[in-house]
Amino acid sequence: MIHPIRRFISDDTGAVTVDWVVLTAAVVALTIGVMAGITVATDTGADNIKDAVEGIDIDTGDNT
């Protein structure tokens, strides 16, 4: 009876799974953080380009 209990206590095969779950969760969290930062920077850049393009006068040749 004591042998199966000792074998169960010393078995660490499930620990690798826990490591992978934690590592994957960390990668997902970092990716979400980076994407949030990129989204803000992209929106700001797009707004700057929009403002610059809206300010350009185009001569259509129609002088009426």
pTM higher than the cut 0.85: no
Q: What is the pLDDT of residue 64?
A: 61
* Dist CA 41 CA 21 (whole Å): 31
pLDDT mean by block of 10 residues, the chain; 64 residues = 81 81 96 93 92 87 70
* Domain ranges, ordered by start, for the chain: 21-47
8-21 as b/e, with b when 16 or more CB fall inside 10 Å?
A: eeeeeeeeeeeeee
Q: What is the pLDDT of residue 58?
A: 83
